[in-house]
Amino acid sequence: MELFFSRGRRRGRRRRFLDALTSRPPFFLLLLLLVLKTTTRTTTMFERGAIVMVQAHPYLISSSNCDAPHPTTRRHAHGAPSEDASITFLVQWTNPEGSNAEAIGENNPERVIPESWSVGGNKYCKSCRMTLTVRHTDQKTYKELVTVSHGSFLEQGRNMDGNTNYARGTKCDGKRYDAGFESNVHHYIWTAPNSDVGPITLKVTGAHGSAGAFKYNSVTLTYDESIKEAVENDQPPAGPSGTPTPPPMNYFDGLSDDQAVHGSEGKSDALKVIVAHGGIMLFSWIVFPPLLLYAGRFKESIFGKHWFRVHKYTVTIMGVFVLIALILANRYRVETRGRLAKPMQTRHGIAGSITVFCWFVQPIIGYFRPPKFLELGEGVTTKANPKRTAWMWMHRSVAMASVLFSIFAVRTGLNEHDPEMTFGEEAIEEIWNLNFLIVYVVFAYILIPILLEVLSRKRGKHTTRQYSHMELEMGDVEDDDHVGLTY
């Protein structure tokens, strides 16, 4: 009999070892190798110039290059720069009064500025807030790098829409602007220096698509304080005392530009990659964690005797989804040459990294799960193992941390990035908003667990699973909480 139980114990341990070997470390090693292989392959293709997708100018120029930021030779697939007179300039006021006040709608990169707002030439005045409009008359869309010798550009984000969470546009103390917004018309809001500094040089270099040659042009602005006086004199006289101030208005509403072209080839492809990353992550962290919680908490009372398989295979499926999402995020990072290369500098990056770290730690913790019962003498007893209790709390704590940080990562991912990188501004405001997350947390982590707890307790009054001495010896009860011993 003792020999029989000894063989049973060996078979049980061998079975658990094979199960762990086939379901845990090799699986994650395989996925890790897949990530490394994909990263290496993508980087190699990028270095060969096969993948340049949205890797167009000005991302090729270091953000710290302020002395000579404009390219002078070919770079990657972009041909050597050449001067192009089809790039034109127009100096305009930012509002019809010529004041330094912010204009409603000025963060819309596709706005159309009335020609009547022109200052009357390539001129500037002391501390005047102006709009420098750069237009490519060849009707192609461009990403641009613009520099000015004096004054400073207003920070409106790399996409020129007022959103700086995605990436900043200004560099070099405001004297350089990297415009990722692809269009043949760009409006740069610029504040002139507070004194007469002489001629000011404005230079722009642009490239169309991922392989268009560099084109540049420049213009010189001269000091003329009379333009400020002219626009002030053109204003209608103030009304009598007590006249109510008219409400602010959007002067850009209803204006159209038949010559303006926005968007480009390749941009949508790159955005699809990062949108897919967000969609997969959103699905994974909304659907799977509650299921893991339910299976781990209620076990066989709700999921039957194979509850642990549900728990384990759900983790595995979730792992596949998470790894695919990470590969997509890495692919987007490589194709855009590191625009998201420093994820720990954003709240979304920090929360997402902690969430993924917790998820990777969980299988490692699970692999070292101690037995539920102590082994004393020649066999397994029904005495609880204190190491298992400590392990269980560690397992639960890491799971709770991953859930909390995942919710924060989802919220910041939707809120702190360009809406085009997620599901669009309207969808975020109307569907994936804070109210949705609150309702989701209440239902998934409060109401449903309460209902399952009630159901579990009702079932527990009528059924109590019994285990034989053989099952205890072979370790089949490691995954269960309620044990009754029969002989």
Structural domain span for residue 124: 82-231
CATH code where residue 154 lies = 2.60.40.1930
Nearest CA to 343 out of 334, 353, 335 is that of 353
Q: How far is CA 130 from the centre of its chain?
A: 33
- pLDDT at position 459 is 79
List pLDDT tens digits, range 415-447.
666 555 555 555 666 666 778 878 888 898 889
Q: Are residues 143 and 274 in the same domain?
A: no
pLDDT grade, residue 335 (50/70/90)? low
- pLDDT at position 125 is 94
Q: Are residues 212 and 324 in the same domain?
A: no
Assess if residue 90 is contained within a domain: yes
- pLDDT at position 213 is 87
The arithmetic mean of pLDDT across residues 75-86, rounded, is 86
8 A C-beta contact, residue 66 and residue 199: no
Assess if residue 306 is contained within a domain: yes
| Count of the separate structural domains present in the chain | 2
Assess if residue 54 is contained within a domain: no
Q: Are residues 20 and 152 in the same domain?
A: no
Nearest CA to 133 out of 92, 98, 169 is that of 92
Residue 200 class from Cβ within 10 Å (0-12 exposed, 13-18 middle, 19+ buried)? buried
- pLDDT at position 368 is 87
**Given the structure tokens 């004041």, which residue do they identify?**
99
The pLDDT of residue 472 is above 50: no
Assess if residue 240 is contained within a domain: no
CA angle 220, 221, 223 (to 5 degrees): 140
Assess if residue 104 is contained within a domain: yes
The arithmetic mean of pLDDT across residues 276-305, rounded, is 87
Q: Are residues 363 and 319 in the same domain?
A: yes
Q: Are residues 209 and 339 in the same domain?
A: no
- pLDDT at position 25 is 40
d(CA 70, CA 59) in angstroms, rounded, equals 11
The pLDDT of residue 189 is above 50: yes
Q: Are residues 106 and 23 in the same domain?
A: no
Assess if residue 65 is contained within a domain: no
Q: Are residues 148 and 272 in the same domain?
A: no
The arithmetic mean of pLDDT across residues 475-482, rounded, is 44
d(CA 107, CA 114) in angstroms, rounded, equals 16
8 A C-beta contact, residue 179 and residue 235: no
The arithmetic mean of pLDDT across residues 180-194, rounded, is 92
Task: Give the percent of the chain with pLDDT over 70.
Answer: 70
- DSSP bridge pairs for 379: 376
pLDDT top residue among 149 and 166: 149
Residue ending a domain, among 231, 251, 282, is: 231
The arithmetic mean of pLDDT across residues 82-92, rounded, is 94
Residue ending a domain, among 231, 247, 279, is: 231
The arithmetic mean of pLDDT across residues 45-60, rounded, is 42
Q: Are residues 129 and 225 in the same domain?
A: yes
The arithmetic mean of pLDDT across residues 259-274, rounded, is 66
- pLDDT at position 345 is 65
The arithmetic mean of pLDDT across residues 105-126, rounded, is 91
Among 184-193, 314-323, 462-471, the minimum mean pLDDT is found in 462-471
d(CA 173, CA 66) in angstroms, rounded, equals 9
The pLDDT of residue 201 is above 70: yes
Mean pLDDT of the chain: 76
List Cα–Cα distances, 473 to 45, 306, 387, 388, in angstroms: 55, 19, 19, 17
Assess if residue 350 is contained within a domain: yes
The arithmetic mean of pLDDT across residues 1-15, rounded, is 44
175 phi, psi to nearest 5 deg: -90, 0
Assess if residue 247 is contained within a domain: no
Best-predicted range by mean pLDDT (87-91, 269-273, 280-284) = 87-91
CB atoms within 10 A of CB 484: 9
Q: Are residues 152 and 272 in the same domain?
A: no
**Given the structure tokens 């998820």, which residue do they identify?**
359
pLDDT top residue among 24 and 52: 24
- pLDDT at position 83 is 94
Paired sense of beta strands 215-223 and 200-207, if any: antiparallel
Nearest CA to 412 out of 162, 94, 165, 53 is that of 165
Residue ending a domain, among 231, 251, 274, is: 231
Q: Are residues 303 and 449 in the same domain?
A: yes
Q: Are residues 334 and 469 in the same domain?
A: yes
Q: Are residues 9 and 106 in the same domain?
A: no
pLDDT top residue among 364 and 55: 364
List pLDDT tens digits, range 301-332.
888 888 888 888 998 899 899 999 988 888 77
Which residues, 6 or more positions from 201, have their beta carbon under 8 angstroms from its beta carbon?
148, 149, 218, 219, 220, 221
Residue 298's SS3 state is helix
CATH code where residue 26 lies = 1.20.120
Nearest CA to 101 out of 125, 129, 137 is that of 129
Q: How many residues in total does the chain contain? A: 487
